[in-house]
């Protein structure tokens, strides 16, 4: 494949790997994440569209309302401009005694310094509209200050008087603090040297700043409730949908390990019912095949024993002793092959229930037996146990140990945890195995030259039987040469079968 083709294929695979690392491993988690992400994206897009439209509508409303308010303020400014300077405080006092007007009015010698509410888009729109309208209605205004401020400690006069210092009747049309403080529009216009008109009022919509905010408390609460409802329904529906799949997965795992499982109920969606039916049919066919295989081998063993025995008796009638011995050797080899084939079937399919096995006790007994036979075997207690089929696991370890004793003489046994798994290591100090022969070493009837020399009675079935038993437990048999010399066989059992021994 050309290099650019590999680069293109790698670039296609990267997004899938990236998503696989982010998404949870379970189907339930992935469906929940995808559905919640879809709802969140929909809400964000909807909020953005709604906020854009609402902000545009709010700007139009603020401009319209502010224009009417500015026209009213223009009339007040023209009225005070038409009065002599010494009449203006008198008129203001009369306004206050009457209970005030829409505007809180005052006259100062200089503009009052105001602490504004900060940069806010709608406030800037309102200030610009007020300035434009006032300039159009009262073109002879030389200086003009417009701002928004909060009512608390708002200065009204250049002598330090604040809004809080004034009687409630004077400011009742200006101050709004419930349910929340509303910003006050302040207009300061110069009517002459040392004569500034101070106007304070509320906007027609006192809380106009909130009209363009998409994240109001009510809206956020409503969306949070809707997201929570979607998440809850999603978890319930997905769990209800994936629960049969989990049962199917457990049944497939148990069947692969040789355990007996009840029939799966044919309930749920149409696709799941079809899958259950296909799985049940497959399990039945495999069970029939295994049963037929056992019956076949048993029948072959039974049927071949009689002609083999008959042939052995007939060889005794031969006069040629050398020929008679050769016939006996061939028949013995044929009988051993038949027994070995039958043993392969039976030993790899031991029907037991898994139970907790204390590895120190199991391996300790095997080590003691080997030492009594004169072999050098070392073993260090690990304090671990494993859930497995006792006879089957003992058969697998025994085959590996026997091979190690035949070919390596000195043997070391060890048990160690590997992450969530457990490993049983059998290492000998023999000549090892050629690297090219490791892949086929566990195949039936495969024997190496040095194996035939040291163990002429073997048939090459031990490793194959051990591998079948380990795989039936959901584990793996690893065969390799030890870096310091000798051969090493490692039984790795999965985490589901690993149990720490209670002290």
103 contacts 200 by C-beta, under 8 angstroms: yes
Q: Which helix (H) or strand (E) holds 227?
A: helix 217-256
401-436 in b/e burial notation, b at 16+ Cβ within 10 A? bbbbbbbbeebbbebeeeeebbbbbbbbbbebbeee
Strands 355-358, 184-192: parallel, antiparallel or unpaired by DSSP?
Answer: unpaired
Instruction: Measure the CA–CA gap between 147 and 149, rounded to whole angstroms.
Output: 7
| Average pLDDT of span 356-384 | 87
pLDDT, one tens digit per residue, over 36-60 is 788 788 878 887 887 788 778 888 8
Which of 167-171, 362-366, 396-400 is least confident? 167-171
Counting Cβ atoms within 10 Å, is residue 201 exposed (0-12), middle (13-18) or buried (19+)?
A: buried
d(CA 359, CA 381): 8
**Structural domains for the chain:** 53-210 (no CATH), 270-345 (1.10.287), 353-500 (3.30.565.10)
Dihedral sign, Cα of residue 277, residue 279, residue 285, residue 290 = negative
**pTM here?**
0.44
Task: Calculate the average pLDDT of the chain.
Answer: 78
Cα(473)–Cα(467) distance, rounded to whole angstroms?
A: 10
Please confirm whether the linkage preceding 464 is cis (ω < 30° from 0): no
Q: Give the residues across from 410 on adjacent strands.
A: 376
Query: Which tens digit of pLDDT belongs to each residue from 402-426?
Result: 888 888 778 999 998 888 889 999 9
Q: Which helix or strand (DSSP H or E) is residue 129 part of?
A: helix 121-137
Closest of 282, 261, 280, 270 to residue 241, by C-alpha: 270
Neighbour tally for 396: CB within 10 Å = 31
What's the pLDDT band for 502 if we cut at 50, 70, 90? very low
In sequence order, what are the beta bridge partners of 416? 423
Q: What pLDDT score was predicted for residue 18?
A: 64
Chain-centre distance for alpha carbon 5: 32
CB burial of 79-107 (b: ≥16 within 10 Å; e: otherwise) equals ebbeeeeeebeeebeebbeeebeebbbbb
């Amino acid at each position: 494949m050309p290099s650019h083709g590999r680069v293109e294929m790698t670039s296609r695979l990267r997004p899938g790997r990236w998503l696989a690392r982010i998404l949870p491993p379970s189907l339930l988690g992935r469906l929940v994440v995808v559905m919640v992400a879809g709802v969140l994206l929909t809400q964000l897009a909807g909020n953005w569209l709604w906020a854009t439209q609402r902000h545009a509508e709010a700007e139009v409303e603020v401009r319209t309302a502010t224009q009417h308010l500015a026209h009213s303020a223009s009339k007040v400014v023209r009225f005070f401009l038409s009065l002599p300077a010494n009449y203006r405080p008198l008129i203001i006092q009369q306004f206050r005694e009457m209970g005030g007007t829409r505007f809180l009015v005052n006259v100062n010698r200089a503009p009052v310094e105001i602490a504004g509410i900060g940069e806010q888009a709608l406030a800037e729109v309102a200030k610009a509209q007020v300035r434009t309208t006032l300039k159009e209605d009262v073109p002879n205004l030389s200086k003009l200050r417009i701002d928004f401020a909060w009512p608390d400690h708002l200065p009204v006069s250049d002598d330090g008087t604040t809004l809080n210092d004034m009687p409630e009747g004077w400011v009742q049309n200006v101050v709004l603090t419930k349910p929340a403080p509303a910003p006050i529009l302040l207009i300061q216009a110069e009517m002459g040297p040392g004569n500034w008109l101070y106007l304070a009022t509320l906007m027609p919509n006192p809380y106009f700043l909130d009209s363009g905010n998409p994240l109001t408390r009510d809206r956020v609460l409503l969306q949070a409730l809707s997201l929570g409802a979607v998440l809850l329904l999603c978890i319930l529906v997905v769990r209800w949908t994936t629960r049969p799949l989990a049962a199917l997965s457990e049944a497939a795992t148990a069947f692969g390990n040789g355990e007996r499982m009840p029939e799966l109920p044919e309930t749920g969606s149409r696709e799941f019912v079809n899958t259950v039916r296909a799985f049940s049919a497959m399990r039945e066919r495999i069970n029939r095949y295994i049963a037929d295989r056992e019956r076949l081998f048993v029948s072959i063993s039974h049927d071949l024993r009689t002609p083999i025995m008959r042939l052995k008796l007939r060889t005794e009638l031969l006069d040629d002793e050398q020929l008679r011995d050769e016939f006996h050797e061939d028949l013995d080899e044929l009988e051993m092959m038949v027994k070995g084939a039958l043993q392969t079937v039976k030993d790899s399919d031991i029907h037991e229930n898994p139970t907790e096995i204390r590895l120190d006790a199991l391996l300790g007994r095997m080590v003691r037996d080997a030492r009594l036979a004169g072999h050098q075997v070392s073993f260090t207690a690990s304090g671990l146990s494993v859930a497995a089929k006792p006879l089957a696991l003992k058969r697998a370890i025994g085959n590996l140990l026997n091979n190690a004793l035949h070919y390596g003489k000195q043997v070391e046994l060890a048990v160690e945890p590997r992450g969530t798994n457990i490993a049983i290591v059998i290492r000998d100090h023999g000549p090892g195995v050629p690297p090219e022969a490791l892949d086929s070493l566990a195949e039936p009837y495969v024997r190496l030259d040095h194996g035939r020399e040291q163990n002429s009675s073997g048939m090459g079935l031990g490793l194959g039987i051990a591998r079948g038993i380990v795989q039936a437990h959901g584990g793996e048999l690893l065969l390799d040469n030890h870096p310091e010399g000798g051969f090493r066989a490692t039984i790795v059992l999965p985490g589901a079968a690993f149990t720490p021994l209670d002290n």
